[in-house]
Amino acid sequence: MKFNNNLKEIRHKIREGSFTSTTSGLNPGYTQTNVAILPSQYALDFMIFCQRNPKSCPLVEVLTPGKFEARISSPNSDIRTDVPKYRIFQSGKMIDEVTDIIDYWRDDFVTFLLGCSFTFERALIDSGIQLKHYDLKKNVAMYISNINSVSSDFFSGNMVVSMRWIKNQDIEKAIETTKKYPSMHGEPIHIGDPEKIGILDISNPDFGDFFEPDSNNYSPVFWACGVTPQVVALKSKIPIMITHSPGHMFITDLRDDDFKFE
Amino acid sequence: MKFNNNLKEIRHKIREGSFTSTTSGLNPGYTQTNVAILPSQYALDFMIFCQRNPKSCPLVEVLTPGKFEARISSPNSDIRTDVPKYRIFQSGKMIDEVTDIIDYWRDDFVTFLLGCSFTFERALIDSGIQLKHYDLKKNVAMYISNINSVSSDFFSGNMVVSMRWIKNQDIEKAIETTKKYPSMHGEPIHIGDPEKIGILDISNPDFGDFFEPDSNNYSPVFWACGVTPQVVALKSKIPIMITHSPGHMFITDLRDDDFKFE
């Protein structure tokens, strides 16, 4: 109940524009999602792209054209106001960053809510695994790998992966823990050698922040990343697309445990 | 390898129209699917309906508009010819049953391949559970339950369930076995009392065949059924829709084991 009140309160603050920060660590246990909004003429193809790439593009909810209430995952929400910060892209270029999209909204917009690694990060922390980027208050490092996504008609591109340094003795546990969230990126897609997946300079991520581990006792562990569909869509130079700003996720009424398989 | 040759051979026979029977028991280990083909203007909404009801509508592959090769699940296939028997529906009424749909094909058709209980039935049999309808060469009994599906804009309706008599001492094993196929209907949605899910006369299924068990030592066990999206679409009186004929499934190149989670 306490959590639920917190959720109402934080959603209200986000809606009225008084909370515009990242949502990392907010309302633990509640599922946060990536957001991608695009015109309906691209929506079927985009949804097919997501269905073909479930590890990087886990669909949590898709709203029908023009709808802005995520009625399945978050009754009474309004996707036009309930994300702390949005980015507006025209033909792949960011033209604005705003705290609501009332003025940009169109009746043919289709909203996609996609799973986010916050869900399995919470599980990793709960299982006793240290995630250094949390302590350092940094964004996780993300890279465009050389792993091909399965294309649809309009959308194609490589998988974006997120990297976390995991202590060697914790790697098995990290695999087992994240494997239990098959619809939230699931187990790692690669462990150990960044070059094997096309990452030539690990110190230079495409998104987020890099830092060196404290000791040699860590390995880089890579997971499929929910930023993939956004990057793919923007690369396609879609005329208009709206996303959340990095780290400024949509907080649903769903619980991370709903996605746990055991 | 033997299986693969068999698969090529049987697909060839289906394509040329010399095999028009049910596919039950064919090419064991290869995943068979339900087929639903509808005009692209309904496709996004139908796909959203499926995404909202994953237990009854597991998406195996969705082809983009006009495409008839299921290139992800079955390279070189042709969905217009590679199903043994098709049904053509106009405004919810069956108007034809054919062995290919070359003459009905339209460039705006979108093909949905949906998971089928043959996948978990194979697993049940492999785990030593007897499925009497196989021995009797009957179709499984299916019922329209009172369990609401989550609607989309155009599609709504109740979940269709399939029923199998399972020996009481095997029920736990049946749950554990089918739970391992979360994207192929997964564990049962109800066990024991048909009335609890709106089935007032178990001897009178909506589809398939009913038979009494040999003894009192059996319980009726109900699973979400992949016929649900077809029934829902037909109820909506969609102007045109093509499906496989009951039991005459599309055989993919995928393996049932690909859907096993453990």
Class of the A2-117+230-259 domain? Answer: alpha beta
Task: Answer yes or no: is pLDDT of B131 > 50.
Answer: yes
Best of B48, B154, B258 to disrupt the A interface (most A CBs within 10 Å) is B48
The CATH homologous superfamily of the domain defined by B2-116+233-259: PSTPO5379-like (3.40.1640.10)
Contact yes or no for A44 and B48 at CB 8 A: no
Bridge partners of A242, per DSSP, are A37, A88
Contact yes or no for B51 and A45 at CB 8 A: no
What pTM does this model have?
Answer: 0.94
Task: Answer yes or no: is pLDDT of A243 > 60.
Answer: yes
Task: Answer yes or no: is pLDDT of B129 > 60.
Answer: yes
CA distance B182 to chain A (A): 9
CA distance B163 to chain A (A): 24
Specify the CATH number for A119-228; select among 3.40.50.2300, 3.40.50.300, 3.40.640.10, 3.30.2040.10: 3.30.2040.10
Q: Which pLDDT band, with edges at 50, 70 and 90, does A4 fall under? A: low
Beta strands in B11-134 (DSSP E): 30-39, 59-62, 86-90, 93-98, 109-115
Which CATH architecture fits B118-228? 2-Layer Sandwich (3.30)
Question: CA of A62: which chain B residue's CA is closest?
Answer: B48
Q: Number of residue pairs across A and B with CB atoms under 8 Å?
A: 48
Task: Answer yes or no: is pLDDT of B210 > 50.
Answer: yes
Contact yes or no for B72 and A65 at CB 8 A: no
Average confidence (pLDDT) over A207-227? 94
Task: Answer yes or no: is pLDDT of B2 > 60.
Answer: no
CA distance A73 to chain B (A): 10
ipTM value: 0.92
| Two domains, one topology: B2-116+233-259 and B118-228 | no
H/E stretch holding B3 reads: helix B2-16
Task: Kindly report the average pLDDT of chain B as a whole number.
Answer: 94
CA distance A116 to chain B (A): 18
- Say yes or no: A153 contacts chain B, CB-CB below 8 A: yes
Distance from C-alpha of A72 to C-alpha of A57, rounded to nearest angstrom = 18
Which residues, 6 or more positions from A58, have their beta carbon under 8 angstroms from its beta carbon?
A50, A114, A115, A183, A184, A185, A226
pLDDT computed for residue B262 by the predictor: 74
Contact yes or no for A153 and B261 at CB 8 A: no
Chain B residue numbers touching A261 (CB-CB < 8 A):
182, 261
The lowest-confidence range among A70-84, A103-117, B84-98, B123-137 is: B123-137
Average confidence (pLDDT) over B88-115? 96
- Say yes or no: B39 contacts chain A, CB-CB below 8 A: no
Contact yes or no for B44 and A43 at CB 8 A: yes
A32-85 pLDDT, tens digit per residue, is 999 999 999 999 999 999 999 999 999 999 999 999 999 999 999 999 999 999
Packing angle, helices A40-52 and A228-235, rounded to 10: 130
Contact yes or no for A47 and B45 at CB 8 A: no
Distance from C-alpha of A123 to C-alpha of A260, rounded to nearest angstrom = 9
Q: Which pLDDT band, with edges at 50, 70 and 90, does B155 fall under? A: very high
Return the domain boundaries, chain A: 2-117+230-259, 119-228
Distance from C-alpha of B144 to C-alpha of B228, rounded to nearest angstrom = 8
B30-82 pLDDT, tens digit per residue, is 999 999 999 999 999 999 999 999 999 999 999 999 999 999 999 999 999 99
- Say yes or no: A45 contacts chain B, CB-CB below 8 A: yes
Contacting B residues, span 47-66, partner chain A, CB-CB under 8 Å: 47-48, 51-52, 59, 61-62, 64-65
CA distance B151 to chain A (A): 10
Chain B residue numbers touching A152 (CB-CB < 8 A):
64
- Say yes or no: A44 contacts chain B, CB-CB below 8 A: yes
Question: CA of B112: which chain A residue's CA is closest?
Answer: A48
Contact yes or no for B44 and A110 at CB 8 A: yes
Q: Which pLDDT band, with edges at 50, 70 and 90, does A5 fall under? A: low
CB crowding B8-29: b at 16 or more within 10 Å, else e: eebbeebbeeebeebbbebbee
- Strand, helix or coil at B65? coil
Chain A residue numbers touching B150 (CB-CB < 8 A):
72
